[in-house]
Structure 1
Amino acid sequence: MIRKRMTAYLTVGVACLAMPFGAHADEMDDLVAAAKAEGQLTVIALGHDWCGYAALIQGFKDKYGLTVNELSPTAGSGEELATIKANIGNNGSQAPDVIDVGLVFGPIAQKEGLLQSYKVQTWDEIPATAKDPEGQWYGDYYGVLSFVVNKDVISKSPADWADLLDPAYRKSVSLPADPRTANNSILSVYAAGLAAGAQPGAAAARAGLEFYRQLKDSGNLLPGFGSAASIAKGETPITTRWDSNGITYAENFKGNPPLDTIVPASLTVAGVYAQAISKYAPHPHAAKLWMEYLYSDEGQLGYLKGLCHPIRFDAMRKSGKIADDMLTKLPATGNNLVFPELSHLVEAGEVIAKEWTSTVGAGSK
């Protein structure tokens, strides 16, 4: 598909300066000035223990002197879109400027007319499969779906998806969030279906639903969702989470309780997340500046320090910006890591959202 050069318009006072294809050096000065005039950025669903966002937010504030208003740090992707819709026409503190959502939710938000186009300076280093050609959404990082296990409760960690059906794990297995709206849970169900041998797309979604129905019927699936707190308390001793979550939790817990982060042996999936700017952003220039920051070398390495895989990983590795010693904390994935195609994810997400309650019915608050 031919890439279109998009033009964003930056207003500083009464001047209007054209900014094609992201901001270049002199245009960055204008963008910074316009963002500072707005004075604030409103983000949503950026937990401080998620992919290094505590340091990234602080780095952005330190670098540009803007206030960052943080909404609903534990919100799921569907909730982020709902928040944009609920605040159309509201320029107050409850209207998000930017969203960070599971990849499947980028096209959904675009279809619903919730986004505006903007291409960052490093646009060419974002893989084509992880971005909208017109710049309405674009991948920022990805995680590797893993089992996070509380070793005080579980003496032998599961090695693969089928192991979760073991009677030894009765009342022990949980999803991380509501699978009708949360990307990490949608991909948990989808990965289980792929591991069962189903074809990508709707077939894998339904196979994954069947697997979780078996977990429920066996008594292994818990009705609640696995948060850092519930994992620490032993209330959800086995939960699917991104590898970065498990490693971060283990560091924060300092061995109390001890945790395992296990990459499923047969197959697991990469979960790509995406950034986008709300069409109704009260602070559109601050939003664009935030995007430039996140997709710069500094921002991408910030994700890596937060134990997530930056979307520019391949290009930065090739250019020597990511060295071997930066990867020591990340678990090895071998050859079992699958990057699902976007069309399959959209299809699977629709099936899981529609059929989760009727097929499984557990853990859906």
Structure 2
Amino acid sequence: MKDLRRTTLAAAVVLALTGSTAACAGGSSAGEGAAEVTVYSADGLKSDDGGGFYDKVFKDFTAKTGVRVRYVEGGSGEIVQRLLRERSNTQADVIVTVPPFIQQAVGRGLVTPYRPAGADAVPAADKDADGAWTTVVNNYLCFIHNTRQLPEPPATWNDLLDARFRGKLQYSTPGVAGDGTAVLIKAMHDFGGIRGAADFLRKLQKNNVGPSKSTGALAAKVDKGELLVANGDVQMNYADARSMPNQGIFFLAGPDGRPSTFALPYAGALVKSAPHAANGRMLLDFLLTESVQGQVSAVAGGFPARGDVPATGEDAARLAALLKGVDVFTPDWKDIDANLKSYTDVWSDATGS
């Protein structure tokens, strides 16, 4: 598999609310009071058509505070690697990524503890006990299928071994993409550990198109019918359905026959030595306000992080219906954080990826 230390960031950079192409100054040249904040984020919350959660929230944040948002997007693991490379000249103020990469950022000393206003309303399982990170949008692992060519999705892992999926199935790369790592974690859960997961994924390789560092790119392929099945996450794929109507969300069952998933939240943290730390804290506070959290289902296609903000409306009802009858388990994130490299090495050896 690709060495994470050498992964490059295929980033999209946007200055919210401005047409300026001027680059945000780094820590050595920009004062703490500069009216900007730089966010490094995993993909999924911003839309190409400008109608995504970040598009709206960043615009509202700038209107309220006068602080522009410089947005850099990449894979869940890629952005952590970028922070690591830049630690002697930090450029980012806020990082938003998913487990286990947010834990990786903490373990490598890349973030500094900060409990945003409203964090007390976030359940304990969805934030770091020491305040290193807090969920801003909740989310779950899922799979997607092309609803025209494959009206009935596969029910179990074993269904994916069918010859009709040869060259028509793809999942993003574990260790690089957050959702791809989630596929490996679910397989470990369902098959009793890394060896069982690797044995199955070795068999599945005959149908797999190959590695992909981007999960988001797979949704378009499924919608077009280039793929019949791919991995994803509920928030991203539910939001994508507005422009990609031929994809359907489903959850795979393990050997016990029960479909299952686990929470894969977008977790926000203040970057250590952030050049605009005050603005970073202000943005994290804003993301957890009741008004922003109340838009999570309708705008982001996700689930509110705050337990005191009810998910209401048609989108919230549809999202709740998706999870009906699906078991939700909690991975051992400490174990995964400590052993992610060895787990992905086993997967790589088994699949030849």
Q: TM-score range by the shorter chain?
A: 0.7 to 0.9
The answer to which structure has the higher helix fraction is 1
Among 184, 189, 201, the alignment partner of 2:184 is 189
| Aligned CA distance change for structure 1 residues 144 and 69 (closer, same or farther; 3 Å) | same
Letter in 2 for 1:288: R
**Does 2:265 align with 1:272?**
yes
Distance 1:333 1:344 in 2: 29
Give the 4+ runs in structure 1 shifted more than 6 A. none
Distance 2:342 2:324 in 1: 28
SS in 1 for 2:38: strand
Assess if the C-alpha contact under 8 Å between 1:143 and 1:242 holds in 2. yes
Distance 2:104 2:94 in 1: 15
| Aligned CA distance change for structure 1 residues 234 and 142 (closer, same or farther; 3 Å) | same
Distance 1:325 1:229 in 2: 25
Letter in 1 for 2:102: G
SS in 2 for 1:241: strand
Offset from partner CA, 1:29-56 (integer Å, 9 cap, x none)? xxxxxx9932111112354139722222
- Residue matched to 2:129: 133
Among 199, 208, 217, the alignment partner of 1:210 is 199
Offset from partner CA, 1:115-139 (integer Å, 9 cap, x none)? 1121112122222233223212222
- Residue matched to 1:96: 92
Give the total of aligned pairs. Answer: 306
- Residue matched to 2:232: 241
| Aligned CA distance change for structure 1 residues 361 and 62 (closer, same or farther; 3 Å) | farther
Matches within 5 A, 1:152-301: 152-175=148-171, 177-196=172-191, 198=192, 203=193, 205-216=194-205, 219-225=206-212, 226=215, 227=217, 228-253=219-244, 255=245, 258-265=246-253, 266=258, 267-301=260-294
Letter in 2 for 1:354: D
SS in 2 for 1:351: helix
Assess if the C-alpha contact under 8 Å between 1:148 and 1:261 holds in 2. yes
Offset from partner CA, 1:191-223 (integer Å, 9 cap, x none)? 123223x1xxxx2x332222221101xx21111
| Aligned CA distance change for structure 1 residues 326 and 131 (closer, same or farther; 3 Å) | same
Report the Cα offset of residue 99 of structure 1.
0.8
- Residue matched to 2:333: 342
Offset from partner CA, 1:90-141 (integer Å, 9 cap, x none)? 36xxx22111111222332222111112111212222223322321222223
Distance 1:43 1:129 in 2: 24
Matches within 5 A, 1:74-113: 75-90=74-89, 95-113=91-109
| Aligned CA distance change for structure 1 residues 164 and 214 (closer, same or farther; 3 Å) | same
Matches within 5 A, 1:18-97: 37-47=33-43, 48-49=46-47, 52-71=53-72, 73=73, 75-90=74-89, 95-97=91-93
Assess if the C-alpha contact under 8 Å between 1:98 and 1:276 holds in 2. yes
TM-score, structure 2 length as denominator?
0.78
Assess if the C-alpha contact under 8 Å between 2:140 and 2:263 holds in 1. yes
Offset from partner CA, 1:119-173 (integer Å, 9 cap, x none)? 1121222222332232122222322222211234435321232221122211122
Assess if the C-alpha contact under 8 Å between 2:143 and 2:252 holds in 1. yes
Distance 2:331 2:47 in 1: 25
Distance 2:197 2:36 in 1: 42
Assess if the C-alpha contact under 8 Å between 2:187 and 2:197 holds in 1. yes
Letter in 2 for 1:56: V
Report the Cα offset of residue 347 of structure 1.
4.7
Mean Cα deviation higher: 348-357 or 184-193: 348-357
**Does 2:144 align with 1:145?**
no
SS in 2 for 1:149: strand
Assess if the C-alpha contact under 8 Å between 2:144 and 2:247 holds in 1. yes
Distance 1:310 1:294 in 2: 10
- Residue matched to 1:10: none
TM-score, structure 1 length as denominator?
0.76
Matches within 5 A, 1:318-337: 322-323=311-312, 325=314, 327-330=316-319, 331-337=322-328
Structure 1: gaps spanning 5 or more residues: 1-34
Report the Cα offset of residue 348 of structure 1.
5.7
Letter in 1 for 2:247: L
Distance 2:63 2:340 in 1: 38
Assess if the C-alpha contact under 8 Å between 1:206 and 1:352 holds in 2. no
Distance 2:125 2:111 in 1: 19
Assess if the C-alpha contact under 8 Å between 2:116 and 2:285 holds in 1. yes
Q: CA RMSD in A?
A: 2.4
Assess if the C-alpha contact under 8 Å between 1:145 and 1:268 holds in 2. yes
